[in-house]
Structure 1
């Protein structure tokens, strides 16, 4: 969606300019866009007839640059994705949930320390966003970009509070093992770690 949207917005546009714009948005941090995959995505979207190559030119000793435009099929796909992401809540896959499912496999002190560490990392991320904003990083950005980073900080604050609360519960000895343990020998090993 990001690449289709940028080509639609900036067209005709070189792949280099799409890459530069996405990196200026820090999309590699929040949008699952890796800088090295942008050119591959442009080629794939062209193969799928969502983009079209307008021209390829070479200036001096620089590498050849291809200019892209979006096709009507690409516009339809962009608009469908855009509206889908606006109107549907799709929780992001977070490997932490898989690890949390196996909380009993961790010793209590390590689990609590890991949660406090997670909270500290989230706090550092929020502090970094706020420091960048105070230094004027958002000054020449549209208001919705500031809102996006405000949402990131709000999400971090919610998870920080949760991490600290659960770490306290674990440290206080609150039981988190099921009342009736499943008939599996591994559960007994885990019970001994947390009791």
Structure 2
């Protein structure tokens, strides 16, 4: 199930009759391309696809001068049922999006400690910069033209970002302080030697992990 489809159906239901351009502009003004992985280039395709599926209805197509033709959409009863089903699934379900960073972090021992520390602190700085940008939007006049839940959503983004940035700095401190990477049940005996060799084939002797 695609959050993009759910959001498009919801916006058409709210704004109908509405041009695809206005749906795209509204989604991007919410920053949905960042926190919901809404791809701007996929919005028009999704509108056409859902129209073919009977979830939306094309009510008019108009063209002004040399501008591209604009199609106006409305939601159908089938589309409204689909929207409500997807909406409730996302509200009541717990959906964890894949995070490529966690895949990399699972191989933490494969990085030199100094590089791991630097990467984590850099990640914290990037997240903090993003948080500041979102907070500026929350504090701006722009937010007054949006539904109040958009501001609340951005507050959640800020809280999550602040928490992750703090975690990055905390783990960087632990690594810099020499915290062991070893599973608790292993000692610096044969088991440790084998474990270290598995994660670093070039390792040939004692290491600081």
Q: TM-score, normalised by structure 2?
A: 0.85
Say which of 125, 131, 134 aligns to 1:120: 125
Say which of 13, 18, 22 aligns to 2:23: 18
Say which of 164, 171, 194 aligns to 1:166: 171
Spell out the pairing of 1:173-192 with structure 2 (5 A cutoff). 173-178=178-183, 179=186, 180-181=191-192, 185-189=197-201
| Structure 2 residue aligned with 1:7 | 12
Q: 1:130 to 1:70 in 2, by over 3 A?
A: same
Instruction: Tell me: higher relative CO, structure 1 or 2? Use CA pairs within 8 A at least 6 residues apart.
Output: 1
| Structure 2 residue aligned with 1:94 | 99
- Asked if 2 retains the 8 angstrom alpha-carbon contact of 1:107 and 1:194, the reply is no
- Asked if 2 retains the 8 angstrom alpha-carbon contact of 1:105 and 1:190, the reply is no
Alignment coverage as a number of residue pairs: 195
SS of aligned partner of 1:128: helix
Q: 1:160 to 1:184 in 2, by over 3 A?
A: closer
Please, which moves more after superposition, 177-186 or 48-57?
Answer: 177-186
Say which of 36, 39, 50 aligns to 1:34: 39
Runs of 4+ off more than 4 Å = 181-185, 190-194
Spell out the pairing of 1:45-124 with structure 2 (5 A cutoff). 45-124=50-129
SS of aligned partner of 1:137: helix
- Asked if 2 retains the 8 angstrom alpha-carbon contact of 1:49 and 1:71, the reply is yes
The gaps in structure 2 that reach 5 residues or longer are 1-5
Q: 1:117 to 1:183 in 2, by over 3 A?
A: closer
- Asked if 1 retains the 8 angstrom alpha-carbon contact of 2:13 and 2:74, the reply is yes
TM-fit CA distance, 1:193: 6.8
Please, which moves more after superposition, 100-109 or 44-53?
Answer: 44-53
Q: Deviations over 1:2-43 (max 9, x none)?
A: 111111111111111111111221211112112111111111
